[in-house]
Amino acid sequence: MKIFVDADGCPVVKLAIKIAKEYKLNIIVVKNYCHEITDDYAEIVTVDRSKDRADFYIANQIEKNDIIITQDYGLAAMVLAREGICMNQNGLILSSNNIDYLLSRRHLNQELRRKYKKNFSKFKKRSKKLDQAFIKQLRFLIESFYPIS
């Protein structure tokens, strides 16, 4: 089992690396060259800035039961098709039960932004509560699919 992080714009890269290190799991952080991420434990993969380049890299590298951390529902759909395990930066597990709804909502929001030329989301500062939810879910996934002996 490996952990992949779609790192462009991801607020939990350091948390994911810390947890992977605790469990002695390989972690691959995929970013474009505009982001500066360094770590002695994680494998850092830098891709060019082309649209979806990091997504396609991850989708082509994953194996069954690898964990992917992403906020991109398109990538999540590709990962689920390859039997990967997906979660977002807030600890939401993305599955076949919710991905269609999330993709539909993304499409609707794109249409609204295009129609009204306005962004309707207001990003709030990330809270410790969200970090704790992420940590709890990542540990749950690791322990469910990678039993500790």
Locate 112 and state its tokens: 């609204």
Q: What is the pLDDT of residues 66-122, one digit of tens each?
A: 999 999 888 999 999 999 999 999 999 998 888 777 777 766 767 777 777 766 566
Cα 47 to Cα 34, 50, 58, 131: the distances in Å are: 10, 8, 11, 27
At 53, which CATH number?
Answer: 3.40.50
Which residues are CB-contacts of 146 (< 8 A; sequence separation ≥ 6)? 1, 23, 25
Q: What is the pLDDT of residue 11?
A: 94
Query: Domain count of the chain?
Result: 1
Q: What is residue 66's DSSP assignment?
A: -
- Structural domain span for residue 55: 2-145
Of the candidates 72, 84, 71, 76, the one whose C-alpha atom is nearest the C-alpha of residue 3 is 84
Cα–Cα distance, 38 to 41 (Å, whole number): 9
pTM here is 0.85
Determine which of 5-9, 41-45, 50-54, 86-90 has the lowest per-residue pLDDT on average.
50-54
